[in-house]
Chain A
Amino acid sequence: SQTIHQWPATLVQPVGSPLSLECTVEGTSNPNLYWYRQAAGRGLQLLFYSVGIGQISSEVPQNLSASRPQDRQFILSSKKLLLSDSGFYLCAWDSGLNTGELFFGEGSRLTVL
């Protein structure tokens, strides 16, 4: 069966520090991968998606970046965090068959102080 792992689960970072969140998917090949953010009082917002290794599309301009170094690995990064980067970050995958069903990870809660 397919599983998705995200880490770390929780982190508290000072403004201006770097960030790296990792996500891996097991049990499937060539998935579409997504990073969403859920900020307080806002709905889930798509940040990045990837249809293959090295292929990244951004939906929202920001100081975050994403990379996909391997088929089932997706990384969210920042060189310098802002207060507004605080939120609940969710990685998700789908099969690429356009069924509309996303499988989400457990999330990473980031607090920037």
Chain B
Amino acid sequence: EDQVTQSPEALRLQEGESSSLNCSYTVSGLRGLFWYRQDPGKGPEFLFTLYSAGEEKEKERLKATLTKKESFLHITAPKPEDSATYLCAVPFYGGSQGNLIFGKGTKLSVKP
């Protein structure tokens, strides 16, 4: 059965304290791994797509990396505005790219 597991469930950082979020997956034939950001009471917002092991994507203070079994979202020198829940997802085997299995997310809090 396809699964996506994220850790930790919650992460508290001081402003400027770098860290990483983990997403491990078990799927039959990876067709992409996606990272989203979700603010409280809002719909998720797309961040990155990774397709193959070794691939990296960057956006401001965020960098996503992918291995054959997991993905990391590295946050460098975070700011309070980076506080949000970060979700990773993979497509269902045999489904369209929008038929996604989401992890439960990592809730990131960055204190000034």
Which residues of B have CB within 8 Å of A59? 92, 99
Asked if A61 CB lies within 8 Å of chain B CBs, one says no
Q: Determine the distance from Cα of A69 to Cα of B50 in the docked complex, in whole angstroms.
A: 34
Interface of chain B: mostly helix, strand, loop or mixed: loop
Nearest residue in A to B50 (C-beta to C-beta)? A100
Give the segment of A13-21, A38-46, A74-82 that binds chain B.
A38-46
Distance, CA A107 to CA B42, complexed state (A): 6
**CB <8 Å contact, B49 and A99:** yes
In the complex where A100-B32, A100-B91, A106-B42 touch, is A43 in contact with B104 (Cβ < 8 A)?
Answer: yes
Distance between A42 CB and nearest chain B CB, rounded to angstroms: 7
Restricting to A66-113, which residues have a CB under 8 Å from any CB of B? 90, 92, 94, 96, 98-107, 109
Which B54-112 residues have a C-beta within 8 angstroms of A? 87, 89, 91-92, 96-105
Are the CB atoms of A49 and B98 closer together than 8 Å? yes
Cβ contacts B22-37/A at 8 Å (1 or 0 each) = 0000000001101000
* Count of residues in B whose CB is under 8 Å from the partner chain: 25
Task: Give which listed residue, A43, A102, A104, A109, contacts B105 with CB less than 8 A.
Answer: A43
Nearest CB in chain A: distance from B106 CB, A: 11
Total interface residues on A, CB under 8 Å, equals 27
Complex Cα gap A18–B110 (Å): 41
Q: Does A32 contact B (CB under 8 A)?
A: yes
Judge whether B42 and A101 touch: CB under 8 Å: no
A100 and B49 contacting across the interface, CB-CB below 8 Å = yes
Known: A43-B87, A43-B105, A99-B49. A32 touches B100 (CB 8 A): no
**Which residues of A come within 8 Å of B, CB atoms?**
32, 34, 36, 41-46, 49, 51, 59, 90, 92, 94, 96, 98-107, 109
- Contacts from B to A (Cβ < 8 Å): 4, 31-32, 34, 41-46, 49, 87, 89, 91-92, 96-105
Can you offer 24 A-B residue contacts whose CB atoms are under 8 A?
A: A34-B99, A42-B104, A43-B101, A43-B105, A44-B44, A44-B87, A44-B89, A44-B100, A46-B100, A49-B98, A90-B43, A92-B98, A96-B96, A99-B49, A100-B31, A100-B34, A100-B49, A100-B91, A100-B100, A101-B49, A102-B46, A102-B98, A102-B100, A105-B43
